[in-house]
Amino acid sequence: MVLLKIDDLKVHYPIRGGVFKTISDYIRAVDGVSFELKEGETYGLVGESGSGKSTIGKAILKLINMTSGRIVFNGQDLSKFSFGQMKPFRQDIQMIFQDPYSSLNPRKRVADIIAEPLRNYQCLTVGEEKKCVQNYLDKVGLNPDSMYKYPHEFSGGQRQRIGIARALTLKPKLIIADEPVSALDVSVQAQVLNFLQDLQKEFKLTYLFIGHDLGVIRHMCDKIGVMYRGRLVEEGISEEIYENPQHIYTKRLIAAIPELNPERRAQKTELRKKIAKEYEQLYPEYFDEHGRAYDLKSISNTHRVAMP
């Protein structure tokens, strides 16, 4: 069964510009993206920084307003609802954020951080709430007695587990994991990824997994959608995308994965150079006069459209 269907989603952010510094332009952060996500599946959205991945996650939760398109979750068209009307659906859709250092309120104890969603949606007694928090701490592999500690008393990986526990308390159907391991040490990344897979089986979760590391995405996802400058340029079964990439940007992503085998390393470096050249020829407007690629987040000129 299809749990989430995104249909021709557009999110254009107004930006200030022009002589009078009024809002005159838009950044087409997401520009006509469609894909669907089946129950129990993990769908990976991959793409370079600024390609619009997080914007899709935020639009699903109505944290930002979409410009046009449809987002259908569990048979309900979310695009019709206001931020307030989304409340019942927020139980079913939770988000895990990229940075475990800034996504947890440093002034709140872990018990309050994890219990916050419960307090918004359920009326539990103090005892029930405590039991629930301890249960979820245990589920994410943390000591239940640590519920009275503050976030700074935990490591990055442990903090991400606290964020995961918070996301799980309302028993969601869909979890949007926005680069959940990119801020973590490589040694901790694998632990958290495997742990997310275990939770998926236990809680029958569906993941929309956002990332830019194709190695991680391949490990986690059944299907991959490759985002490029606000558009979905390629989509397919993970292995197929990996074995036979079609779009030049997907080829670049795959060529960027480090090669451990010393014999194949030289081959890969050559391939990387060849693809870089092909890319530059296809998109000369994305490079400066020295052949350096522009940073998408800082210029975004290619996203701009004049206001009608």
Amino acid identity of 145?
A: D
225's CB contacts (< 8 A; 6+ apart) are 35, 43, 44, 45, 46, 232, 234, 235
DSSP class of residue 285 equals: G
For ligand ATP, which is the closer residue by CB, 55 or 238?
Answer: 55
Alpha-carbon distance of 130 to 135, in angstroms, equals 8
| Tokens 């139980």 -> residue | 91
For ligand ATP, which is the closer residue by CB, 133 or 183?
Answer: 183
Taking the complex as a whole, how short is the minimal distance between the CB of residue 54 and ligand ATP, in angstroms? Answer: 3
For ligand ATP, which is the closer residue by CB, 150 or 294?
Answer: 294
For ligand ATP, which is the closer residue by CB, 165 or 214?
Answer: 214
Taking the complex as a whole, how short is the minimal distance between the CB of residue 169 and ligand ATP, in angstroms? Answer: 25
**Element (H or E) spanning 25, and its range?**
strand 22-38
Taking the complex as a whole, how short is the minimal distance between the CB of residue 300 and ligand ATP, in angstroms? Answer: 4
Edge to edge, the sheet with strand 68-73 lists 76-77, 68-73, 2-17, 22-38, 304-306
Alpha-carbon distance of 108 to 259, in angstroms, equals 43
Q: Which residues bind ligand ATP (CB under 6 A)?
A: 13, 15, 27, 29, 47, 49-55, 212, 296-297, 300, 303
Taking the complex as a whole, how short is the minimal distance between the CB of residue 266 and ligand ATP, in angstroms? Answer: 30
For ligand ATP, which is the closer residue by CB, 117 or 211?
Answer: 211
Taking the complex as a whole, how short is the minimal distance between the CB of residue 246 and ligand ATP, in angstroms? Answer: 20
